[in-house]
């Protein structure tokens, strides 16, 4: 390929974005070429091939992503095979089990890292390697704001946990084991042994938690290849999929097909419906809202209820059901689910391998109707998210019906209020706590700004004294999120949050709260005059950070109904022509 120079900086007239660096004449091309050659690349590699960035969230601090460097090698092989020039680069990783106060506080930071790294470098297309919960939305958000050709490759779920003849699902069974230990049904030694048995391979949580949900939605929305969601992390077919992504991204660059051409409104509609069918995580709500905001796709909180309302949950996986991702993969994975939903999907939505989602899923079969249930025998007839509104949540709140107890979906109960997560932990097991099975547990100051970072504390463990009485579920209300592996009648994402004076801040122990999911209502039965008095007396909590990223987060984070993105990151800036700096 020839690159005739067209200005004094030796700028090439044609070809790819990376040509602005590598195909310039004179010193402006000498410098990037020469220094890249220090890594041992042959000159042909720098001669007009599309440069494919491999954006890697590998980290030993993120156990779920520990195999991503291996997968990166497979992506590279595919890129080379297709005639591209692969360059792997790291971005900040986000490991759920270790990061404090919560990975959600850093999702936007990683999205900025991805966006600015892509834009600042000679990258024509990108393969995103993600796994643990927030890494998927963070990488997609960053790439979306650059709007370059993109494929997401997930790390895949870990192998099933096994303990004493019992299958252990990440997170979900941890919550159960914790309750068994707290009520004396298992010993400390047994708890320790279960701890080692639950997480026994590379990969992300193998329940339909947030990681599996986001990997599946990436597949459903066409930005991931078929079976991206469910292929186990250590299965050789995960490596093959990575190699295929490497081949395909080169073609996307040559055709100029960018992420915004794949992630259309139709893709988001399919994402919401598939989330209902797989019993996906509540966290998908904020992540898809934020991603749509980057892409300028018209998509809002109400869409989650409207589009997902009548979608049955077909996939019988924990936390809502019985099985785990390995069984889901063996049963046929997402193509089989989507084929069963065919009549409700936007079949013309494009996919990264070319063609449409309708073509991708045509004829896909389920090999196990216990795991991927038929439409006439769903796990839950209505599996989508419910969006609640009312005087307690003027801008909305959500509940996941497939994880909730049907008997509590219409409920009127007395609030037991915890001012903070620390207050909750300190008092929940107090034998003198004035609480019964009909009470509504309320947690404040766990929203985007309040905690900050909207941690996954919304599924509040039940009081020990009620667990000992055999109580298994209660209505819980907060401005927090909950783990994708958690379950219960849990109202989340209340907006506006309490820390900025939302009505949740005004609730006091003893107030009556009404949850009426049929009417999509969440109400506080306190008269307006009393609420006005409480509002006038409201004192916002001290911000948790006065400098650094924490302050940036508190100053700019939006509420849950807007996806918890920063106000200044909404939208995209593309990849405008670069300025040379030497
Ligand atoms: Fe990483 Fe669950 S902790 S996916």
For the chain, the average pLDDT equals 95
150 sits in which H/E element: strand 150-154
Strands 475-478 and 521-524, sheet pairing: unpaired
The stretch 551-557 carries a mean pLDDT of 98
| Whole-angstrom distance, CA of residue 498 vs CA of residue 500 | 5
pLDDT at 2: 39
Reply yes or no on whether the pLDDT at 1 is more than 50. Answer: no
Distance 177 CA to ligand 1 centre (A): 18
| Whole-angstrom distance, CA of residue 511 vs CA of residue 521 | 16
Query: pLDDT for 317-362, tens place per residue?
Result: 998 889 999 999 999 999 999 999 999 999 999 999 999 999 999 9
Of 198, 223, 248, which residue sits at a domain end?
Answer: 198
- Going by alpha carbons, the residue nearest to atom 3 of ligand 1 is 96
pLDDT at 9: 73
The stretch 167-171 carries a mean pLDDT of 90
Q: Which one is predicted more confidently, 382 or 217?
A: 217
Confidence band, pLDDT 50/70/90 cuts, at residue 14: low
Q: For tokens 């993969």, what's the residue?
A: 329
The stretch 527-542 carries a mean pLDDT of 97
Q: Is residue 113 part of a domain?
A: no
Q: Is residue 277 part of a domain?
A: no
Token reading at 314: 């077909």
Of 198, 218, 250, which residue sits at a domain end?
Answer: 198
Same domain for 167 and 44, yes or no, is no
Query: 508: helix, coil or strand?
Result: coil
Query: pLDDT for 59-113, tens place per residue?
Result: 999 999 999 999 999 999 999 999 999 999 999 999 999 999 999 999 999 999 9
| Whole-angstrom distance, CA of residue 478 vs CA of residue 494 | 6
Reply yes or no on whether the pLDDT at 3 is more than 50. Answer: no
pLDDT at 576: 85
Q: Is residue 130 part of a domain?
A: no
| Whole-angstrom distance, CA of residue 267 vs CA of residue 226 | 15
Which residue(s) pair with 515 in the sheet? 411, 522
Q: Is residue 532 part of a domain?
A: yes
**Phi, psi values for residue 465, rounded to 5°:** -65, -30
Query: 115: helix, coil or strand?
Result: helix
Query: 300: helix, coil or strand?
Result: coil
Closest CA to 445 of 504, 388, 394: 504
Tell me the chain's radius of gyration from C-alpha atoms.
24
pLDDT at 268: 98
Strands 166-168 and 161-163, sheet pairing: antiparallel
Ligand 1 site, CB within 6 A: 64, 96-97, 132-133, 170, 204-205, 209, 211
Q: Is residue 87 part of a domain?
A: no
Reply yes or no on whether the pLDDT at 487 is more than 90. Answer: no
User: What is the position in ligand 1's atom list of the atom closest to the CA of 133?
Assistant: 4
The stretch 270-284 carries a mean pLDDT of 96
Distance 96 CA to ligand 1 centre (A): 6
Confidence band, pLDDT 50/70/90 cuts, at residue 6: low
Reply yes or no on whether the pLDDT at 281 is more than 50. Answer: yes
User: What is the position in ligand 1's atom list of the atom closest to the CA of 212?
Assistant: 4
Give how many domains the chain has, as a whole number: 3
Least confident among 84-93, 109-118, 179-188, 223-232: 179-188
By residue range, what is the domain housing residue 188? 162-198
Q: Is residue 527 part of a domain?
A: yes
Task: Specify the CATH number for the domain of residue 461.
Answer: 3.50.30.80
Q: What b/e readout covers 316-328, taking b as 16+ CB neighbours within 10 angstroms?
A: bbbbbbebbbbbb
Q: Is residue 355 part of a domain?
A: no
Token reading at 503: 């009505």
Q: Is residue 207 part of a domain?
A: no
Q: pTM to 2 decimals?
A: 0.96
């Amino acid at each position: 390929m020839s690159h005739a120079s067209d200005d004094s900086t030796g700028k090439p007239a044609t070809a790819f974005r990376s040509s602005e660096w590598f195909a310039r004449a004179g010193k402006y091309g000498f410098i990037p070429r020469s220094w890249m050659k220090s890594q041992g690349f042959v000159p042909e590699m720098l001669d007009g091939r599309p440069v494919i960035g491999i954006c890697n969230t590998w980290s030993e601090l993120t156990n779920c992503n520990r195999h991503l460097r291996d997968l990166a090698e497979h992506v590279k092989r595919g890129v080379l095979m297709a005639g591209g020039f692969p360059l792997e680069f790291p971005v900040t990783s986000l490991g759920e089990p270790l990061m404090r106060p919560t990975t959600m506080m850093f999702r936007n930071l990683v999205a900025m890292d991805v966006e600015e790294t892509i834009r600042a470098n000679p990258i024509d297309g990108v393969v995103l390697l993600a796994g643990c919960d927030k890494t998927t939305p963070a990488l997609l958000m960053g790439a979306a704001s650059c709007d370059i050709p993109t494929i997401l490759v997930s790390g895949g779920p870990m192998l099933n946990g096994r303990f004493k003849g019992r299958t252990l699902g990440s997170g979900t069974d941890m919550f159960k084991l914790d309750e068994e230990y707290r009520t004396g049904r298992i010993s400390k030694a047994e708890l320790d042994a279960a701890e080692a048995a639950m997480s026994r391979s590379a990969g992300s949580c193998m329940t339909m938690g947030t990681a599996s949900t986001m990997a599946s939605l990436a597949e459903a929305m066409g930005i991931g290849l078929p079976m991206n969601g469910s292929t186990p992390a250590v299965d050789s077919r995960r490596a093959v999929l990575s190699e295929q992504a490497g081949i395909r991204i080169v073609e996307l660059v040559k055709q100029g097909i960018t992420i915004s051409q794949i992630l259309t409104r139709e893709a988001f509609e399919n994402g919401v419906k598939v989330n209902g069918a797989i019993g996906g995580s509540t966290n998908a709500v904020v992540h898809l809202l934020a991603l749509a905001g980057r892409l300028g796709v018209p998509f809002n909180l109400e869409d989650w209820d409207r589009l997902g309302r009548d979608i049955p949950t077909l996939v019988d996986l924990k936390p809502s059901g019985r099985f785990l991702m390995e069984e889901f993969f063996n049963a046929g994975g997402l193509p089989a689910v989507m084929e069963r939903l065919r009549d409700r999907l936007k079949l013309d939505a494009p996919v990264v391998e070319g063609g449409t989602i309708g073509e991708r899923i045509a004829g896909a079969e389920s090999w196990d109707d216990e795991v991927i249930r038929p439409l006439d025998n769903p796990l839950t007839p209505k599996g989508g998210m419910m969006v609640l509104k009312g005087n307690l949540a003027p801008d909305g709140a959500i509940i996941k019906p497939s994880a909730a107890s049907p008997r509590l979906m219409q409920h009127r109960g007395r609030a037991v209020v915890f001012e903070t997560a620390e207050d909750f932990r300190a008092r929940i097991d107090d034998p003198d706590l004035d609480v019964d099975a009909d009470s509504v547990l309320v947690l404040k100051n766990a929203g985007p700004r309040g905690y900050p970072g909207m941690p996954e504390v919304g599924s509040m463990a039940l009081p020990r004294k009620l667990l000992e009485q055999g109580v298994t579920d209660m209505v819980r209300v907060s401005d927090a999120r909950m783990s994708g592996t958690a379950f219960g009648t849990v109202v989340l994402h209340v907006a506006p949050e309490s820390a900025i004076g939302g009505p949740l801040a005004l609730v006091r122990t003893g107030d009556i709260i009404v949850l009426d999911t049929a009417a999509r209502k969440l109400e506080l039965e306190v008269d307006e005059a009393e609420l006005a008095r409480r509002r006038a007396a409201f004192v916002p909590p001290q911000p948790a950070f006065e400098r650094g990223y924490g302050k940036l987060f508190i100053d700019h984070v939006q509420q849950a109904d807007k996806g918890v993105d920063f106000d200044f990151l909404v939208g995209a800036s593309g990849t405008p022509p670069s300025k040379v700096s030497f």
